[in-house]
Amino acid sequence: MVNTAVNLCGVELENPVIPASGAFGYGREFAEIYDINCLGAFAIKGTTAYPRFGNPTPRIADAPGGMLNSVGLQNPGVEDVVNVELPALAKVYSKKVLANVCGFSIGEYVSVAERLDAEDIVGWIELNVSCPNVHGGGMSFGACCEGAAAVTREVKRVTKKPVIVKLTPNVTDIVPIARACADAGADGLSLINTVLAMRIDPAARRPVLANVTGGLSGGAVFPIALRMVYQVYEAVDIPIVGMGGVSTARDVIEMMLAGATAVGVGAANLTNPFAAKEIIEALPAEMEKYGITNLVDIIGGAHNG
Amino acid sequence: MKKGKFTLVENTALVPGMHRLTFSGDGSGIVPGQFAEVAVPGYFLRRPFSVAGFDGGSLTLAVRVRGEGTAALAALAPGAELDIVTGLGNGFDLSAAGERPLLIGGGSGVGVLWPLCRALAADGASVTAALGFNSGTESFYVSDFAALGARTEVYTADGSRGRRGLVTAALGDFEYSSVYACGAAPMLQIIDREAGAKAQFSLEARMGCGFGACMGCTVETVNGPRRVCKDGPVFRGGELIW
């Protein structure tokens, strides 16, 4: 009998598998096809103060081993999330969510986080300072130490819930930014968000995405994400939610060996709606295969000393 | 929504660039107007196709070759086993058909109307199918509609088959109690303007997931942003902001 439980910033998870923000909506599409209480937790769609349509379409493109999206934070706004989405979710889901918060100013991050902090179903605040598809928000905060630290510090003032800062890979060195967030009081880090990328339609001689660029996710980015989780683990002492291209139970184990306490699953949910459930079901056998009894024992296990 | 394995039984090039793929597998529980998401070997994202036929043990897709993924799919030989998600989207509302439903299909939009035509005919409606193509050599599925007992009229832009002109002329050529349409956006816009609340449109979109999670295929409607894959692909006349 293996033990898959982990503890993410003081909250016990039955298993480390967490569908990632943007790939799981507010849960209801998946609750229609399986019991999502099998999840460790999940991260809701990035939520802003006011409703957003997002970017013009096309905003999805295929790529070798992955996909591009330039959705641009479409969401119904925090009031609708609190009044409609979360109550609907609570009817089918008894665990906690990571409330993914995004903004175009520090004030917006603070007000959205404060509103979501009051919800019982919210176990963690995930600060999205890494969306590559909006201008003047998201990644513009998370691409520098000062911005990431400032958002972290101000949001920490308004919530007692653990604050997990979601980092972008679109920087020269992710480590100083991870450190700056930890120093500013972050309780955890999640990484990576998508990798800035593009496709061009040779017939039209134009970018495929209306937004020109988008974020690459899927198996193609897994080794990049793994490397960054490994680097950040060496630099900080707070828990890491490792994500980026995870699509199998083996990927979960690799991520945890690199230093992740919990593991996000993103694009895999979109190509196989049952992906997160199947990964969770496959995890015990995969652990046995590698002689793992307690999953927590392998966190950071790939590091020397 | 169901995910399952399907085996390609027949791959017919109806006209150049347009294939009819018939699979054996669980084709139950599908509503006319719903679509399927096909995992194409070698490609990451599934590809969405309208369902051009189904029954308990089979599934038929009308596939227009648009890019690499659709070309790879159209090149598959019988025997290929594919992972397909079926029963996606809302489908047509048959209860709004009335006695004289008019089906208007343009080009590759014709296929999705065939199972609808079959269901409406089975309900005893007097169905007219207006099928529009650029030319007679590009026309397909015409005899399939006629075989269901529907009054079937072909419209071609060059007049090489049936009536010359746009298929939207059918709105003036026939009396109708309702309109069901699938085709290019300019065609649907005309129908929206002329048939209003009597119309239902099946939209096409570039999709990510196909079941409402990724927000890749959102369109603006008078009711706010809606996902083509989950809230559609069928929308009512007057609902869309073109």
pLDDT in tens, B189-211: 999 999 999 999 999 999 999 99
pLDDT in tens, B129-163: 999 999 999 999 999 999 999 999 999 999 999 99
CB contact under 8 A, B220 and A274: no
| Cβ–Cβ contact A105 with B under 8 A | no
Instruction: Give the mean pLDDT of A163-170.
Output: 97
Instruction: Give the mean pLDDT of B77-104.
Output: 98
CB contact under 8 A, B212 and A64: no
Domain limits, chain A:
6-298
Instruction: Give the mean pLDDT of B32-56.
Output: 96
> Which residue in chain B is spatially nearest to A275 when comparing CA positions?
B3
Catalytic residue among A9, A102, A131, A181: A131
A131: pLDDT strictly greater than 90? no
- State the pLDDT confidence band at A170, using cuts at 50, 70 and 90: very high
| Cβ–Cβ contact A3 with B under 8 A | no
Kindly report the average pLDDT of chain A as a whole number.
97
**Looking at the predicted complex, does its ipTM rise above 0.90?**
yes
C-alpha A223, offset from chain centre: 16
pLDDT in tens, A251-279: 999 999 999 999 999 999 999 999 999 99
Domains of chain B: 2-88 (2.40.30.10), 94-236 (3.40.50.80)
**Amino acid found at B87:** G
Residue A35 has a CB neighbour count (10 Å cut-off) of: 11
CB contact under 8 A, B208 and A53: no
A134: pLDDT strictly greater than 90? no
Global confidence as pTM: 0.96
Report the CATH superfamily, name and number, of domain A6-298.
Answer: Aldolase class I (3.20.20.70)
Residues of B with Cβ-Cβ distance to A270 under 8 angstroms: 45, 208-209, 213-214
CB contact under 8 A, A67 and B44: yes
Q: Is A131 a catalytic residue?
A: yes
Contact B184, B107 (CB under 8 A): yes
A151: pLDDT strictly greater than 70? yes
What distance in Å separates the CA atoms of residue A242 and residue A259, rounded to the nearest whole number? 8
Helices A174-183 and A222-235 cross at an angle (nearest 10°) of: 50
CB contact under 8 A, A29 and B230: yes
For A173, residues 6+ apart whose C-beta sits below 8 A from its C-beta are none
What distance in Å separates the CA atoms of residue B161 and residue B119, rounded to the nearest whole number? 27
- What does the pLDDT read at residue A1? 87
CB contact under 8 A, A32 and B1: yes
- Residues of chain A with pLDDT > 70, as a percent, come to 100
What distance in Å separates the CA atoms of residue B232 and residue B242, rounded to the nearest whole number? 15
- What does the pLDDT read at residue A147? 94
Altogether, the residues listed in chain B come to a count of 242
**Element holding A125 (H helix, E strand):** strand A122-128
Residues of A with Cβ-Cβ distance to B69 under 8 angstroms: 62
B233: pLDDT strictly greater than 70? yes
- What does the pLDDT read at residue A137? 77
- State the pLDDT confidence band at A140, using cuts at 50, 70 and 90: confident
What distance in Å separates the CA atoms of residue B198 and residue B193, rounded to the nearest whole number? 11
Residues of B with Cβ-Cβ distance to A274 under 8 angstroms: 3
A95: pLDDT strictly greater than 80? yes
pLDDT in tens, B156-167: 999 999 999 999
| Cβ–Cβ contact A53 with B under 8 A | yes
A305: pLDDT strictly greater than 70? no
What distance in Å separates the CA atoms of residue A67 and residue B216, rounded to the nearest whole number? 11
Contact A224, A243 (CB under 8 A): no
| Cβ–Cβ contact A200 with B under 8 A | no
Q: Min CA distance, A66 vs chain B (Å)? A: 6
